[in-house]
Amino acid sequence: MPNSHRQSAKFRFAPSPNGELHLGHALSAFLNHDMAREAGGAYLVRIENIDQTRCTPALERALLDDLAWLGLSSDAPERRQSDHLSEYQAALQELERLGLTYPAFMTRGEVKALVAHSERAGNPWPRDPDGAPLYPDLDRLRPPAERARRLDAGERHAIRLDMAKAVAAAGAGLGWTETGSGEDRWITADPLAWGDIVLSRSDAPGSYQLCVIVDDAAQEITHVVRGLDLYHATAVQRLLQVLLGLPEPVYHHHRLVLDDKGEKLSKSNRSTALATLRREGFSPSDIRGLVSL
Ligand code: GLU
């Protein structure tokens, strides 16, 4: 049973400080805030700054400032991923203990070359729901002795989930309750479509997928409200929650704000940045109007 029925509702808006907030973020934050108020629950802001190569404290300050201006500051102190690295490490170790992970040595360049080679030969490479090539089988199939030798030699590697094994371990019936269409619907999850996802890299202690489920559980989030671009990622998040025995939130994926060309807004497009609109004299209620709320 989704835990929303057991405890008071908790919602979260979880931006990454790797660019300026734009109208798409405003829609998500307004919806989280409004739904939390309607449910008599809490609205929490989480700073998803696990990718320290792209996230900066200055961008974090700017996004908190934008949210304060919109009247969307967190009901409790913000959770910041960089403060919780040991929790992601513990989740990773548990998946390792369950025998569901393996070290992945291929570089991005090697994967790209392999995919290009296969496609030039007329064999289309399978892709995940975001269109990225699935990780090749090679590392999963490496003989244990070779794996041990490369680890002993200190070779750089990521940790990946053995997806087929993980899905088998989770058992049948994997899915989630989706309320984005206005009614409660049960969605069957298909995590196999993502292949062997990355759980941690040598330069990032946790991947988005690993950190997000640890954070949602730690903050006792009952309702995950976010853009439709993360709809398919939910399959992986439900899988990891089941494997780690974490509670199941309700999911609500909302429409995306699109630009004039019908494309999803990007962080590099300054014209829809909240800071720009604010400088141009738009008010918080104008911003609500711009995202059709
Ligand atoms: N940090 C993600 C983003 O900015 C959101 C993750 C989530 O809501 O699950 O797109």
pLDDT at residue 204, as a whole number: 85
Structure tokens at 60: 């974090």
The model scores a pTM over 0.85: yes
pLDDT at residue 181, as a whole number: 93
Q: Quick: pLDDT tens for 141-177.
A: 999 999 999 999 999 999 999 999 999 999 999 999 9
Q: Is the model's pLDDT at 269 over the cut of 80?
A: no
Q: For residues 67 and 274, what is the distance between their CA atoms, to the nearest angstrom?
A: 9
Q: From the CA of 208, how far away is ligand 1's center (Å)?
A: 8
pLDDT at residue 2, as a whole number: 54
Domain range annotation of the chain: 1-83+257-293, 85-176+183-214
Q: From the CA of 210, how far away is ligand 1's center (Å)?
A: 12
Topology adopted by domain 85-176+183-214: Glutamyl-tRNA Synthetase; domain 3 (3.90.800)
Ligand 1: atom nearest CA of 28 is 8
Q: What is the DSSP string of 52-114?
A: TTT--HHHHHHHHHHHHHHT---SSPPEEGGG-HHHHHHHHHHHHHTT-EEEE---HHHHHHH
Q: From the CA of 150, how far away is ligand 1's center (Å)?
A: 34
pLDDT at residue 5, as a whole number: 47
Best CA proximity match to 238, nearest among 224, 219, 258: 224
The superfamily (CATH) of domain 1-83+257-293 is HUPs (3.40.50.620)
Geometric angle at alpha carbon 228, from 73 and 245, rounded to 5°? 80
Q: Is the model's pLDDT at 254 over the cut of 70?
A: yes
Q: Quick: pLDDT tens for 42-60.
A: 999 999 999 999 999 999 9
Ligand 1: atom nearest CA of 237 is 9
Please list every protein residue whose CB sits less than 6 Å from any atom of ligand 1.
14-16, 48, 212, 226, 230
